Structure formats: structure tokens, C-alpha cells
Amino acid sequence: MEMPETELTATKRPVWNAGRTVGAKRALKPKQIWEIRFYLNQRRRLRDRALFDLAIDSKLRGCDLVQMKIGDIVSGGQIRTRAIVMQQKAGRPVQFELLPDARASLLAWLDRRGGTVDDYVFPSRVDHNGHLSTRQYARLVDEWVTGVGLMRSEYGTHSLRRTKASIIYRATGNLRAVQILLGHSKIENTVRYLGIDVEDALALAENTEI
């Protein structure tokens, strides 16, 4: 019996995820964070170090991170300890902290970069009036993780967004706090984003004595 043409085509069509790692990208561990910082410091990549630190502390999506302007993080010539940006996807503002390491690397980068409060923190090297593209940001993350021996297929820009949120959740179990920090509208989104499962819930419960 001859196979219909439509079925024959379907059997020849390659699977969309063939050879790809499917699922959420891994969050970085504290040791890996410091390895990447050391890697960037050794190569004197001020911009990349500032971008990496801002990505970790801000917990922003790549599209929001690359569009940040100097005025978003600078006030009175100093890097703010807290900042707020409007999320493109959610259409709501989200606040985040900037800890000493991030403030120091951002200040070092902006001293070299120059610019005004209306300029992008990370300008495009192709169009100086534009900002770093999300595609180039993704390429940089690939370079950073492979530079410290990690598999690029397992990490990406969402790894940086998830990293601090995951660490906070593991340390506190406060899902509502993490939801606020990530700017999620529903706590169910936070549960899915962090990949929380029954084992996580039981581990937290076992460490809580009444």
C-alpha cells in the first residue's frame, strides 16, 4: 500500500527540537557567578562585567535589561541602591536592588562610557544611538558561560534572570517575595518559572519545625 504524500512528508520533516536541550535554562550557582566575574575581570571587560552584575541583581528580562538608560540607575552622580523600570511584557513597574559589587562595576563602566541620563547604559556598537540588542546579549551570555567551562545549551539569558530569584527562594522559601521581585502577576507563573516541584515543597517543610 502506497503511503499518502502528506504522511510521507510528515515522516521526513525533522523534529523541531532535534539536538536541542528543551526546558528551562539552569540558574547559576554562587560559585559560578564568581567564576564568571573572575573571567571577565581577567580580560578587563568592564562593559560585560557591568552587564552581568546588573542582570543578576535586577532579575530583568533581556528586553528590559538592554533598554535601561543611565538615568534609570544613576542619581546625583552615584549609582542608585534601588532602581525601578517598566516591564515591556507585563506593562508594570518592577523595583530591584543594586548591591555594592554591581554598583562598583556599573560606575567603572559608566566612567569609561560617558553619556547623559538619556543615553542607554549599554549602547549598540553598530548604532551608537541605539542599545545593545537582545541577540547580542544572548551571544555574550553564551561566551561567558562557555568561558568558565559550562555548557551553553544549558544556560542562557533567563539563567541570569532566574539566578538570584532561585537563591532567595532556596534560602527563605518566600515565594510571594520572589514573585514581587520577578514582577510576575500570578504566583503560578513564579512556581513554573522557578521549576518548583513537590520535592522542593517537602524539603522546605522538613526544615520547618513547629
**Residue 1 confidence class, pLDDT cut points 50, 70, 90:** very low
Count of CB atoms situated within 10 Å of the CB of 97:
15
* Residue 193 neighbours by CB under 8 Å, 6+ apart: 24, 162, 165, 182, 184
Mean pLDDT is lowest, of 33-47, 60-74, 155-169, 175-189, for 175-189
State the average pLDDT over residues 45-49: 97
Which CATH code for domain 30-207? 1.10.443.10
What does the pLDDT read at residue 15?
44
**Where do the domains of the chain lie?**
30-207
At 196 the pLDDT is 63
Concatenated DSSP letters for 98-154?
--HHHHHHHHHHHHHH---TTSBSSB-SS-TTSB--HHHHHHHHHHHHHHTT--GGG
Q: Residue 206: pLDDT above 90?
A: no
User: Band of the pLDDT at 87, cuts 50, 70, 90?
Assistant: confident
Q: pTM here? A: 0.81
- Please tell me the predicted confidence (pLDDT) of residue 200: 61
